[in-house]
């Protein structure tokens, strides 16, 4: 009798999944603990500090919600595209394109404030939809590799925004950035005494809409079938190419909204580096949520909170905030690796 | 006036030399990736491995001042981290795109943290010893082609030699055949007694070695310092070059030269001053890479049949 036996199929009871994920998170925390000890910080106090700032005070929680909104929107975009079989990775680009479109509408047109919000959401969504839709078109029509093409489009979008803020949209002054957006175009702050803005409400609504779209509508069903098996979908009469483009349009639009809530809710001006990696952290959030639109919200709150906590830790203890990148990616890598252990059983009898 | 300077011999001489110089790192990374992809693994994590290799070579050169040791350390760093990637790709059988993407974030976190830990918060960019360009009497002074062909660093000639070796190993040895079989038809390869996991581990590890070296190339032969944006998509461009080069080392060399030419052209145009804003010129290499792999030109690329498909023995 071998102590460790291979299972015929991986253990997939909720308990097994929860336990393996729990161990995975624990392993990631342990590895990151070693890093904290490089800075002579007690790991336990460090982790408590990491959570106290974002969740221990109303002010801190406000910041957490500010970070949660774009992460949620990008994670939702990831879910729509990936579940439809479109491996899109261009959310960093979509988000800066959305931010640029929003800044343009706010600075260079004068629409009355109550039309502005729907107009900016529409424009930003359309900009992101076109940006991602082109990639889907290349994939659907010419068989281009969407993974690589979308990665390239990130760099192009970032350079485009660099050009806009140093040329046509630049405000007079030493720094390449636009003028401050007019106050009337800002998203409303929703919690008195905090920076939390209505972007989080948009993110929550979007999560519900995506859930309904994928779970309860015929289109969503066709999207998922196209993702699971393109040939079966084609056999059932689904136009897979068109579904792919639809998925890309939704994903690009959601990604662009992430830029919109960031610029109208928090930054209030367009500058280089406005997205700061949120396009990739958002994908990681979607993975942590196992591509479930509703699970995205708590996952985004956790990761958004971690970012807030890490910034506070850098200010106070001098521990670089880049450690959160390590922690956030390690957690997902370990969760992925934990699938391996569900393929075995320990035989104690 | 500008147009006149543009066509001058000096412009072409520097442009060609810069094309070859800039093609070096992406070609090096693409060479190893050719092995990984032929074995059936698309390593999106290559960007992160190059970044880690760049940091490893920078820190080694900063501490020891020895360029060859730095190159070696970068290579070993690439191998070690790709061992983790290979484990995730091959043993865990997780989605290759997902693992590669998350690994890139991990690599960014590690390099940013380690760089700050070693160099301190406030220190400005430090330069390190670099490989010097060779100067071959007479040959290096030839007009037009002299500087581009005979005035490069030793790393470029090493890379070109590796193209030949890679081509020979991949297409003229039984190991190369086994590796390609693992990526083309894993179950048949398995039936023929080839260990598919072993081949894929080897493919990813070769990819790690050259990606680490590519990072060292950037630091030791191109800019002489480290910054977090040093790679800025060149790993992803290397992936594109492998596709554009149809999974063959020497065609990848041609593709890398095309990329180098675009990158050098945009840099030269920025220097001579053109009407196009520099940020849009800087997008040129990415745009060209997209066009190259879009499927718009040259028909559909026939990739290894089992690329990105994890293999589980039945």
Which of A157, A159, A270 is the mutation pick for testing B, counting most B CBs within 10 A?
A: A159
**What are the chain A neighbours of B97 within 8 Å (beta carbons)?**
87, 89, 147
What's residue A273's pLDDT?
Answer: 82
Structure-token pair, residue A193: 């005494």
What's residue B312's pLDDT?
Answer: 81
Which of B47, B112, B236 is the mutation pick for testing A, counting most A CBs within 10 A?
A: B236
**Burial (0-12, 13-18, 19+ Cβ within 10 Å), A144:** buried
Q: What is the pLDDT of residues B250-309, one digit of tens each?
A: 999 999 999 999 888 888 887 777 778 888 888 988 998 898 888 777 656 678 888 888
Distance CA B126, CA B102 (A): 29
Say yes or no: ipTM exceeds 0.85. yes
The answer to whether A159 contacts B112, with C-beta atoms less than 8 Å apart, is: no
Residue of B nearest to A335 (CA): B94
**A 2-41 → B contacts, CB under 8 A:** 35, 38
C-alpha distances (whole Å) from B287 to each of A90, A142, A150, B21, B292 are 14, 16, 11, 20, 9
Give the residue, B124 or A276, on which the prediction is more confident.
Answer: A276
> Please, how many CA atoms are within 13 Å of residue B189, restricted to the half-sphere of its CB?
27
What's residue A256's pLDDT?
Answer: 97
C-alpha distances (whole Å) from A209 to each of A118, A217, A284, A293, B277 are 17, 11, 21, 9, 41
Which of A147, A164, A324 is the mutation pick for testing B, counting most B CBs within 10 A?
A: A147
Let me know: does A78 contact A299? Beta carbons within 8 Å.
no
Confidence at B121, pLDDT banded by 50, 70, 90: low
Length of chain B: 314
Give yes or no for residue A168 having a pLDDT over 90: no
Let me know: does A325 contact A278? Beta carbons within 8 Å.
no
What is chain B's mean pLDDT, rounded?
Answer: 88
User: CA of B44, closest CA in chain A: separation in Å?
Assistant: 9
B158/A contact by beta carbon, under 8 A: no
The answer to whether A280 contacts B104, with C-beta atoms less than 8 Å apart, is: yes
What's residue B299's pLDDT?
Answer: 58
What is chain A's mean pLDDT, rounded?
Answer: 89
Residue ranges matching CATH 1.10.3470 in chain A: 58-318
pLDDT over 90 percentage in chain A: 51
What's residue A341's pLDDT?
Answer: 79
Confidence at B4, pLDDT banded by 50, 70, 90: low
B293/A contact by beta carbon, under 8 A: yes
Given CA atoms B229, B230, B234, B235 in this order, what sign does their dihedral have?
negative
A167/B contact by beta carbon, under 8 A: yes
What's residue B18's pLDDT?
Answer: 85
Q: Cα torsion at B165, B170, B176, B181 (round to 10°)?
A: 170
User: CA of A290, closest CA in chain B: separation in Å?
Assistant: 12
- Shortest CA distance to B204 belongs to which of B310, B92, B89, B101? B89
pLDDT mean over A212-238: 90
Give yes or no for residue A4 having a pLDDT over 60: yes
What's residue A210's pLDDT?
Answer: 96
What's residue B279's pLDDT?
Answer: 85
DSSP element (H, E) containing A176 = none
User: CA of A14, closest CA in chain B: separation in Å?
Assistant: 20
Q: What is the pLDDT of residues B31-78, one digit of tens each?
A: 999 999 999 999 999 999 999 999 999 999 999 989 999 999 999 999
Residue of A nearest to B298 (CA): A142
The answer to whether A145 contacts B287, with C-beta atoms less than 8 Å apart, is: no
Nearest to A143 among B98, B103, B300 (CB): B300
Give the residue, B151 or A20, on which the prediction is more confident.
Answer: A20
DSSP element (H, E) containing A4 = strand A4-6
User: CA of A209, closest CA in chain B: separation in Å?
Assistant: 25
Distance CA A104, CA A144 (A): 32
Please name the residues in contact with A269: beta carbons below 8 A apart, sequence gap of 6 or more: A103, A171, A177, A178, A179, A180, A181, A263
The label of the residue with tokens 């040895």 reads B173
A330/B contact by beta carbon, under 8 A: yes
Nearest to B92 among A89, A153, A337 (CB): A337
Confidence at A338, pLDDT banded by 50, 70, 90: confident
B58/A contact by beta carbon, under 8 A: no
Q: Cα torsion at A138, B40, A77, A261 (round to 10°)?
A: -100
- Reduce the DSSP state of residue A346 to 3 states and report it: strand
What's residue A35's pLDDT?
Answer: 84
A219/B contact by beta carbon, under 8 A: no
Confidence at B143, pLDDT banded by 50, 70, 90: low
Instruction: Parse chain B into domains and list their residue ranges.
Output: 25-120+141-243
B91/A contact by beta carbon, under 8 A: yes
Q: Cα torsion at A128, B44, A286, B84 (round to 10°)?
A: -160
What's residue B3's pLDDT?
Answer: 53
Residues A192, A197, A199, CA angle at the centre, nearest 5°? Answer: 155
C-alpha distances (whole Å) from A290 to each of A162, A283, B7 are 34, 11, 56
Q: What is the pLDDT of residues A310-326, one digit of tens each?
A: 888 888 777 888 888 99
- Reduce the DSSP state of residue A271 to 3 states and report it: strand
**B 69-88 → A contacts, CB under 8 A:** 87-88
pLDDT mean over B122-135: 77
pLDDT over 70 percentage in chain B: 92
What's residue B1's pLDDT?
Answer: 45
pLDDT over 70 percentage in chain A: 99
Give yes or no for residue B147 having a pLDDT over 50: yes
User: CA of B61, closest CA in chain A: separation in Å?
Assistant: 23
User: CA of A322, closest CA in chain B: separation in Å?
Assistant: 5
A329/B contact by beta carbon, under 8 A: yes
Distance CA A180, CA B170 (A): 57
Q: What's the topology of domain A58-318?
A: ABC transporter involved in vitamin B12 uptake, BtuC (1.10.3470)
Given CA atoms B179, B182, B185, B188 in this order, what sign does their dihedral have?
positive
* Terminal C-alpha separation, chain B: 70
C-alpha distances (whole Å) from B280 to each of A243, B235, B283, B284 are 32, 21, 5, 7
**What are the chain B neighbours of A318 within 8 Å (beta carbons)?**
121
Q: What is the pLDDT of residues B197-244, one digit of tens each?
A: 999 999 999 999 999 999 999 999 988 899 888 998 899 999 999 988
The answer to whether A142 contacts B117, with C-beta atoms less than 8 Å apart, is: no
A114/B contact by beta carbon, under 8 A: no
């Amino acid at each position: 009798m071998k102590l460790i036996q291979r299972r015929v199929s991986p253990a997939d009871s909720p308990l097994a999944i929860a336990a393996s994920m729990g161990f995975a998170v624990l392993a990631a925390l342990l590895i990151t603990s070693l890093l904290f000890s490089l800075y002579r910080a007690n790991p336990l106090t460090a982790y408590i500090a990491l959570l106290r700032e974002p969740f221990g005070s109303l002010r801190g929680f406000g910041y957490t919600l500010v970070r949660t909104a774009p992460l949620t929107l990008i994670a939702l975009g990831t879910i729509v595209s990936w579940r439809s079989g479109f491996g899109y990775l261009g959310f960093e680009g979509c988000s800066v394109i959305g931010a640029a479109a929003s800044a343009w509408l706010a600075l260079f047109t004068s629409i009355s404030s109550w039309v502005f919000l729907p107009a900016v959401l529409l424009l930003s969504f359309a900009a992101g939809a076109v940006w991602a839709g082109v990639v889907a078109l290349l994939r659907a029509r010419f068989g281009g590799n969407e993974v690589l093409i979308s990665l390239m489009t990130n760099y192009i979008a970032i350079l485009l925004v660099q050009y806009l803020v140093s040329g046509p949209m630049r405000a007079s002054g030493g720094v390449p950035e636009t003028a401050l957006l007019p106050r009337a175009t800002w998203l409303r702050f929703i919690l008195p005494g905090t920076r939390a803005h209505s972007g989080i409400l948009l993110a929550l609504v979007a999560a519900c809409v995506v859930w309904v779209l994928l779970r309860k509508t015929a289109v969503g069903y066709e999207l998922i079938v196209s993702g699971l098996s393109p040939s079966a979908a084609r056999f059932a009469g689904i136009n897979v190419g068109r579904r792919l483009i639809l998925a890309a349009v939704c994903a690009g639009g959601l990604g662009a909204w992430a830029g919109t809530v960031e610029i109208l809710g928090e930054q209030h001006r367009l500058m280089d580096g406005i997205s700061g990696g949120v396009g990739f952290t958002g994908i990681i959030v979607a993975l942590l949520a196992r591509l479930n639109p509703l699970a995205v919200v708590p996952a985004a709150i956790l990761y958004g909170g971690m970012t807030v906590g890490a910034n506070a830790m850098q200010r106070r203890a001098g521990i670089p905030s880049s450690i959160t990148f390590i922690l956030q990616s390690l957690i997902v890598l370990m969760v992925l690796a934990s699938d391996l252990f569900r393929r075995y059983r320990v035989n104690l009898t | 006036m500008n147009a006149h300077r543009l066509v001058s011999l000096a412009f072409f001489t520097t442009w060609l030399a810069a094309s070859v110089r800039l093609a070096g790192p992406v070609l090096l990374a693409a060479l190893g990736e050719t092995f990984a992809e032929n074995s059936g693994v698309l390593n999106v994590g290559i960007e992160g491995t190059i970044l880690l290799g760049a940091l490893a070579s920078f820190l080694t050169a900063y501490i020891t001042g020895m360029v060859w040791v730095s190159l070696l350390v970068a290579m070993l760093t690439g191998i070690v981290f790709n061992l983790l990637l290979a484990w995730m790709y091959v043993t865990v059988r997780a989605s290759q795109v997902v693992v590669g993407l998350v690994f890139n974030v991990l690599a960014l976190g590690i390099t940013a943290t380690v760089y700050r830990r070693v160099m301190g918060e406030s220190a400005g960019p430090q330069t390190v010893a670099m490989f010097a360009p060779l100067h071959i009497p007479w040959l290096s002074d030839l007009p037009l082609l002299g500087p581009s062909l005979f005035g490069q660093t030793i790393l470029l000639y090493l890379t070109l030699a590796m193209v030949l070796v890679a081509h020979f190993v991949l297409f003229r040895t039984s190991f190369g055949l086994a590796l390609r079989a693992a990526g083309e038809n894993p179950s048949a390869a398995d039936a023929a007694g080839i260990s598919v996991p072993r081949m894929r581990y080897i493919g990813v590890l070769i990819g790690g070695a050259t990606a680490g070296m590519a990072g060292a190339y950037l630091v030791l032969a191109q800019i002489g310092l480290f910054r977090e944006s040093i790679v800025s998509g060149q790993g992803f461009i290397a992936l594109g070059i492998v596709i554009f080069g149809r999974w063959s080392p020497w065609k990848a060399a041609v593709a890398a030269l095309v990329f180098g030419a675009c990158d050098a052209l945009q840099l030269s145009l920025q220097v001579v001053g053109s009407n196009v804003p520099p940020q849009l010129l800087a997008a040129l290499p990415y745009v060209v890479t997209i066009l190259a792999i879009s499927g718009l030109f040259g028909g559909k690329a026939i990739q290894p049949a089992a690329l990105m498909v994890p293999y589980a023995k039945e």
